[in-house]
Chains A and B, each alone.
Chain A
């Protein structure tokens, strides 16, 4: 059995306050870690490539509340495949090949992922090369059997949502396989980040996934502050926490109604969308922007909260406390909607464990993990937080998870307002003086957002890798829909609400 003890593990309270240590390993050791991942002894937090030829992975040892970053030089442009033994890594590896030209040796799935053959170049961030013009069409997985039919959907969907392609193979009404094809909104974020100033990096980070702009900006700021060993004023932590919980509140409220609306229960959407709009308006009053974009910056926050803003948040929480219970009752007392959500789109506990799926997808299937509690960071280290967990793993469980988290948000926001200290909200990040690397990990509404940031001596970004929680949730959606009917796909999909833009980068 692989020995894990000689890796440079860092406990949560340390990795956010100082540059992250990286353990460089050889191929044998790397393969050993791959086996440890496959055996479930550690959880994969992310896997990414560096220009110039290196693969890195971040590992989580959840029981010990610690993380490690491991690096392998890609001699000859290759490294031993992680995905060959640990399925959660497969799409990340395909993305590494597309963008950086690294080859995971022994990989099972070598099809391109983000590269649709339309950039005019291959491996744009590695040794870029012109693309052969006669590239074959994307080979979807073959299906064989009696009376099967294939339903292709997207990339343009019927609603006002993001683009992606879904290929259903159905027997009658029952889905026997769903295959996802993503990458349509790939904007080349990694390429834009490389060489950028810190301020520009923060701007881009906040625009990777619009619904999680606070979580992304915070993860980026954490990584930058860790790399620079920067001490952030205490009040800034409190304000960041408020923004993150307002963002969670708005998204969960939108989702609860949105899922019900996908089963034609429009009244739920009408009711929750009123509360969602109220949250966004309070955010605008308190922080000057409905989504609180560009408010979190490396060093603190860009604006302070005044008395009027605080009052707006307090009255918002009171309104939600007054009105939300009746909406929950409406859901829970309507048999026709429960008939659609209960036992639909089930994900097993084994799968969420193996993929390390975060957020409501993981917690609705029994994975008791929340970055705010298990890899704690300010201000959550001073607050009382109960992490709701369910075991059913169906659409209903994912709705209830959100309902319980809405209640938690209200409690957390009240606690934060009561504990908010006075003082400055920004400290100048300064310059590192030498190349530094930092890690950030923040619980967004969807799950844990990771940021690994490498700065050069002048403080410019050498490499910024941001991993959306959706990387480990999208594959589970393929499993969730199996054996369900196509008509239940919108319901399952909305209950996951994975990010396209955050995933495609």
Chain B
């Protein structure tokens, strides 16, 4: 173990520099964020995740955000275990009828202000599962969505871009507000 610790001190970090947020997501977010946000929350967001019916692909890429290459926490973003602690709800999957109530209750349990990010192509409109008797539709069919990150699944860089766009908008909103 000592060897790993010493290597950790002397080697350069694996962490890569932050990607530039997409212009499109910036625009999408502009309307959703009020000037008070930055003052209230600081540059830190707590994220609660709900899989509402995904194939698990999006979850794997969300997990990858915590590996040393992407190191999500350096941006003040971290995943929390309870919706009561969360500012942002990330949701994946076509929302199945069997998960719709659990998703709604998770959203209701979050304190205001709160945002919802729908992740992956299925979360947009149900994707390739849309026609099924078991699927309610995209995330917006159950809870209001502020930002959508497309991809099947979106890779960690795409996820980071989306999350950073959210933070950046908070900064801009403060300066102009």
Chain A interfacial positions (CB closer than 8 Å to B): 116, 118-121, 124, 155-156, 158-163, 183-189, 191-192, 200, 203-204, 207-211, 213, 254, 267, 270-271, 273-274, 276-277, 280, 284, 290-291, 293, 326, 330, 333-334, 499-501
Complex contacts, A162 vs chain B, CB 8 Å: 51, 54, 56, 59
The CA-CA distance from A124 to B14 in the complex, in Å, is: 50
Contact between B133 and A274 (Cβ–Cβ < 8 Å)? no
- Spot the interface stretch: B24-32, B97-105, B140-148: B97-105
The CA-CA distance from A184 to B134 in the complex, in Å, is: 10
Give the nearest-CB partner of A257 in chain B: B67
Shortest C-beta distance, B103 to chain A (Å), equals: 8
Contact between A501 and B54 (Cβ–Cβ < 8 Å)? yes
Contact between B100 and A273 (Cβ–Cβ < 8 Å)? no
Give the nearest-CB partner of B79 in chain A: A160
Q: Could you tell me which residues of chain B, from 5 to 36, have a CB within 8 Å of some CB in chain A?
A: 14
Decide: A161 near B98, CB < 8 A? Known: A186-B134, A187-B53, A276-B67.
no
Shortest C-beta distance, B15 to chain A (Å), equals: 11
Complex contacts, B173 vs chain A, CB 8 Å: none
Shortest C-beta distance, B87 to chain A (Å), equals: 16
Contact between A187 and B4 (Cβ–Cβ < 8 Å)? no
State whether the Cβ of B46 lies closer than 8 Å to any Cβ in chain A. no
Contact between B134 and A187 (Cβ–Cβ < 8 Å)? yes
Contact between A267 and B4 (Cβ–Cβ < 8 Å)? yes
Give the nearest-CB partner of B155 in chain A: A290
Complex contacts, A293 vs chain B, CB 8 Å: 57, 152
Shortest C-beta distance, B67 to chain A (Å), equals: 4
Contact between A330 and B1 (Cβ–Cβ < 8 Å)? yes
SS class of chain A's interface: helix, strand, loop or mixed? loop
Decide: A210 near B64, CB < 8 A? Known: A119-B134, A156-B106, A501-B54.
no
Contact between B99 and A121 (Cβ–Cβ < 8 Å)? no
Complex contacts, A200 vs chain B, CB 8 Å: 128
The CA-CA distance from A127 to B54 in the complex, in Å, is: 28
**Total inter-chain residue pairs, C-beta < 8 Å:** 143
State whether the Cβ of B176 lies closer than 8 Å to any Cβ in chain A. no
Decide: A211 near B60, CB < 8 A? Known: A156-B106, A163-B99, A277-B67.
yes
The CA-CA distance from A254 to B1 in the complex, in Å, is: 19
The CA-CA distance from A426 to B83 in the complex, in Å, is: 48
Further contacts, 6 of them, CB under 8 A, given A160-B59, A188-B134, A207-B129: A156-B106, A162-B56, A204-B129, A273-B68, A277-B67, A326-B3
Complex contacts, B97 vs chain A, CB 8 Å: 116, 118-120
Decide: A188 near B51, CB < 8 A? Known: A156-B102, A291-B57, A291-B153.
no
Complex contacts, A284 vs chain B, CB 8 Å: 155
State whether the Cβ of B81 lies closer than 8 Å to any Cβ in chain A. yes
The CA-CA distance from A193 to B102 in the complex, in Å, is: 27
Chain B interfacial positions (CB closer than 8 Å to A): 1, 3-4, 14, 49-64, 66-69, 79, 81-82, 93-94, 96-102, 106, 128-129, 131-135, 152-153, 155
Give the nearest-CB partner of B64 in chain A: A277
Decide: A334 near B55, CB < 8 A? Known: A116-B98, A187-B134, A211-B60.
no
The CA-CA distance from A158 to B79 in the complex, in Å, is: 9
Complex contacts, A207 vs chain B, CB 8 Å: 55, 57, 128-129, 152
Contact between A267 and B131 (Cβ–Cβ < 8 Å)? no
Shortest C-beta distance, B161 to chain A (Å), equals: 16
**Which of B57, B82, B129, B132 has a CB less than 8 Å from the CB of A210?**
B57
Looking at A120, A207, A326, which has the most chain B CB atoms within 10 Å of its CB?
A: A207
Shortest C-beta distance, B54 to chain A (Å), equals: 7
Decide: A186 near B56, CB < 8 A? Known: A160-B79, A210-B153.
no
The CA-CA distance from A207 to B58 in the complex, in Å, is: 11
Shortest C-beta distance, B48 to chain A (Å), equals: 9
**Which of A118, A277, A500 has a CB less than 8 Å from the CB of B69?**
A277
Contact between A158 and B81 (Cβ–Cβ < 8 Å)? yes
Shortest C-beta distance, A170 to chain B (Å), equals: 20
Contact between B129 and A192 (Cβ–Cβ < 8 Å)? yes
Complex contacts, B50 vs chain A, CB 8 Å: 156, 163
Complex contacts, A120 vs chain B, CB 8 Å: 97, 133
Complex contacts, A330 vs chain B, CB 8 Å: 1, 4
Contact between B57 and A213 (Cβ–Cβ < 8 Å)? yes
Give the nearest-CB partner of A284 in chain B: B155
Contact between A188 and B68 (Cβ–Cβ < 8 Å)? no
Decide: A121 near B133, CB < 8 A? Known: A185-B96, A270-B67, A501-B54.
yes
The CA-CA distance from A330 to B69 in the complex, in Å, is: 21
Complex contacts, B68 vs chain A, CB 8 Å: 270, 273-274
Shortest C-beta distance, B140 to chain A (Å), equals: 18
The CA-CA distance from A74 to B53 in the complex, in Å, is: 32
Complex contacts, A334 vs chain B, CB 8 Å: 1
The CA-CA distance from A300 to B62 in the complex, in Å, is: 31
Contact between B153 and A192 (Cβ–Cβ < 8 Å)? no
Contact between A188 and B98 (Cβ–Cβ < 8 Å)? no
**Which of A184, A192, A209 has a CB less than 8 Å from the CB of B131?**
A192
Decide: A273 near B64, CB < 8 A? Known: A155-B102, A185-B53, A209-B55.
yes
Shortest C-beta distance, A203 to chain B (Å), equals: 6
Contact between A185 and B51 (Cβ–Cβ < 8 Å)? yes
Complex contacts, A124 vs chain B, CB 8 Å: 133-134
The CA-CA distance from A157 to B172 in the complex, in Å, is: 34
Decide: A274 near B134, CB < 8 A? Known: A156-B50, A267-B1.
no
Closest CB pairs A-B (n = 9)? A210-B57, A188-B132, A188-B134, A158-B81, A273-B67, A210-B56, A210-B55, A118-B97, A124-B133
Contact between A161 and B58 (Cβ–Cβ < 8 Å)? no
Complex contacts, A163 vs chain B, CB 8 Å: 50-52, 99, 102
Contact between B49 and A160 (Cβ–Cβ < 8 Å)? yes
Give the nearest-CB partner of B67 in chain A: A273
Contact between A209 and B129 (Cβ–Cβ < 8 Å)? no
Contact between B56 and A187 (Cβ–Cβ < 8 Å)? no
**Which of B1, B61, B133 has a CB less than 8 Å from the CB of A119?**
B133
Decide: A187 near B94, CB < 8 A? Known: A207-B128, A280-B64, A326-B3.
yes
